[in-house]
Amino acid sequence: MVRRSASRSSRWPDARRRAQLLQRQVAAPVKAAIPPPAFPHSSPARPEMKLKEANLPQLPAPIARPDYCLAEVSTGIAHIGVGGFHRAHQAAYTDALMNTGEGLEWGICGIGTRAEERSMRDALAAQDYLYTLVELDDRPDTEVRVIGSIRDMLLVDEDGSEAVVARLADPAIRIVSLTITEGGYCLDDSTGQFNAQLPQIQHDLQHPRRPVSVFGLLCAALAKRRGDGVGPFTVMSCDNLPHNGDVTRKATLAFASLVDPDLARWIERNVSFPNAMVDRITPMTSTAHRQDLKHQHGLDDAWPVVCEPFVQWVLEDRFVAGRPAWEKVGVQFTDDVSPYEEMKIKLLNGSHLALTYLGFLRGYRFVHETMADPLFAEYIRRYMDEDVTPQLAPVPGIDLARYKQTLIERFSNCAIADQLERVCSDGSSKFPKFTVPTINRLIADKAALDRAALVVAAWALYLRGVDENGERYRIPDPRADFCQSLVAEDDGLTERLLGREEIFGTQIPRSLAFRDAFERNLLRLRTLGVSGTLDLLLTQ
């Protein structure tokens, strides 16, 4: 077993650590045309060492490593959708708990449902499922840490549906968690109903013994557990969407009702779906991040994850088969996550969208350089203060003024070099969840609409695929072709775009005031450019 000092093993992410992160004051950002070095604190190159369990004792002292025996970890969680966020958040919390000597029965088995997950599985398997978590900030006390809580990973297209279902049905698995993106829940945003016509759902309805979708796998495993007399597991969403547990429950029951109504009733009575608010900015890991990890620490990790120091998880304590003692490492348990969830989704995710399309059109490619522009920083502050904050209920234990300042500081973090492209992605699924509720409330309150309408106008121009400098870019959205068709012609653009109820609902298309604000800001962007539009908006 590899030991660490007590100060190192207990420093992340306890309540005091989280409070310190919330209280940090970040220096004014410096605009940069290119990202800063991936790891901002340079050091001489070190001899390279491959990340593997056998090499853990030889890692250089600054790298924290598991303070527990990997062989003693058993699997209690299956996680569908092992991406950067899961590895920087839930898996990191679980590893932190294991470092206290507890929770070794809560190791994680990853489940992959997409062919493109094979590369990550192969990379992790080659290094005993270990990976490095690197906090990026401009301070020297940020952490570089090897995580060991993920112990295995199965792929549906390689290991087969039967093997995956068998693993989920194993009585040892007591929690199945999800990070499958906002668009992965198979709900029609215009109606809120389960979309059974999706190809993967149709496949599973026709071939229930060989499911490939998330909900096909969940229901097949729960059916097997029921048939075997094994109790249910908790289904825990860790995705950024409102009432994520309720959404997961709705989709699971809808699919189960199509397969076996008796199973649906059993799930409804026995399975829990806790809601959660999750938060940690986790940019895409780049080749530069991997190379810098080699150069500065001598560690050859094929699939590290980089993230900001800030981390937060608020979780409803509704688990039918037990859970890790995550509260010992900073997770806040509550009976109702709703106020935290609304605060985070409207302020962080909504502000991200308000920032990202305008920034991309202006020619920026990183969140921090966009925030270094005073016009953008002032616009985001006003959006938070004047459009969103009046809509929020009091949040227990949260100072909203301080929380908003923390968001400004996080967005301005130069070291993390968070890509606007990442934040731009899947806009057609993000708008209904992060922005439309704010706009609907503004319409109902007869409040000013220009700041919020500018977000939608910027998206409309962004979908054209060329910025103010004439640079072309791709649109990272599963519905990119469809969305681009909505804005391809100027004539009728407003009706085509705002009329898509699956994106904008029913209230926005009916509001003449919002339509006017949208067209006004679209015209300004075309004639004045992004900076001119922001300058005019902020001086009105």
User: pLDDT digits over 240-286, tens only?
Assistant: 888 999 999 999 999 999 999 999 999 999 999 999 999 999 999 99
Report pLDDT for 192: 82
Q: What is the mean pLDDT of the chain?
A: 91
Range 124-137 average pLDDT = 97
Q: Is residue 4 part of a domain?
A: no
Alpha helices in 60-193 (DSSP H): 84-88, 90-98, 118-126, 156-159, 161-169
Q: Is the pLDDT of residue 161 over 60?
A: yes
Instruction: State whether 137 and 236 are in the same domain.
Output: yes
Q: Is the pLDDT of residue 228 over 80?
A: yes
User: pLDDT digits over 6-41, tens only?
Assistant: 333 333 444 334 334 333 322 233 333 445 555 555
Instruction: State whether 252 and 400 are in the same domain.
Output: no
Q: Is residue 12 part of a domain?
A: no
pLDDT band at 526 (very low <50, low <70, confident <90, very high): very high
Instruction: State whether 356 and 288 are in the same domain.
Output: no
* Domain CATH code at residue 483: 1.10.1040.10
Instruction: State whether 319 and 275 are in the same domain.
Output: yes
User: pLDDT digits over 492-506, tens only?
Assistant: 999 999 999 999 999
Report pLDDT for 157: 93
Q: Is residue 498 part of a domain?
A: yes
pLDDT band at 410 (very low <50, low <70, confident <90, very high): very high
Report pLDDT for 238: 97
Instruction: State whether 320 and 376 are in the same domain.
Output: no
Alpha helices in 146-305 (DSSP H): 156-159, 161-169, 199-206, 214-228, 244-259, 261-270, 287-297
Q: Is residue 441 part of a domain?
A: yes
What is the C-alpha to C-alpha distance for residues 91 and 71, in angstroms, rounded to an integer? 17
Instruction: State whether 327 and 342 are in the same domain.
Output: no
H/E stretch holding 456 reads helix 450-462
Boundary of a domain, candidates 270, 302, 334: 334
User: pLDDT digits over 465-479, tens only?
Assistant: 999 999 999 999 999
Identify residue 439 by its one-letter amino acid code: I
* Domain CATH code at residue 207: 3.40.50.720
Q: Is the pLDDT of residue 190 over 80?
A: no
b/e 311-341 (16+ beta carbons within 10 angstroms → b)? bbbbbbeebbbebbebeebbbbbbeebebbb
Q: Is the pLDDT of residue 464 over 70?
A: yes
pLDDT band at 46 (very low <50, low <70, confident <90, very high): low
Enter the tokens of residue 466.
């060329």
Q: Is the pLDDT of residue 430 over 70?
A: yes
What is the C-alpha to C-alpha distance for residues 284 and 243, in angstroms, rounded to an integer? 26
pLDDT band at 311 (very low <50, low <70, confident <90, very high): very high
Please report, rounded to a whole number, the percentage of residues in the chain having pLDDT higher than 70: 91
User: pLDDT digits over 335-344, tens only?
Assistant: 999 999 999 9
Burial class (CB in 10 A: 0-12, 13-18, 19+), 65: buried
Instruction: State whether 220 and 138 are in the same domain.
Output: yes
**Beta partners for residue 78, in sequence order:** 109, 176
Instruction: State whether 349 and 455 are in the same domain.
Output: yes
Boundary of a domain, candidates 311, 334, 357: 334
By residue range, what is the domain housing residue 415? 337-539
Query: What is the total count of domains within the chain?
Result: 2
Instruction: State whether 430 and 519 are in the same domain.
Output: yes
Instruction: State whether 146 and 116 are in the same domain.
Output: yes
Q: Is residue 13 part of a domain?
A: no
User: pLDDT digits over 147-159, tens only?
Assistant: 999 999 999 999 9
Instruction: State whether 162 and 311 are in the same domain.
Output: yes
Please report, rounded to a whole number, the percentage of residues in the chain having pLDDT higher than 90: 84
Higher pLDDT, 34 or 358: 358
Q: What is the 3-state secondary structure (H, E, C) of 492-534?
A: CHHHHHHCCHHHHCCHHHHCHHHHHHHHHHHHHHHHHHHHHHH
Boundary of a domain, candidates 310, 334, 358: 334
Q: What is the pTM of this model?
A: 0.84
Residue 491 has φ and ψ, to the nearest 5°, of -65, 125
Report pLDDT for 11: 38
Instruction: State whether 327 and 362 are in the same domain.
Output: no
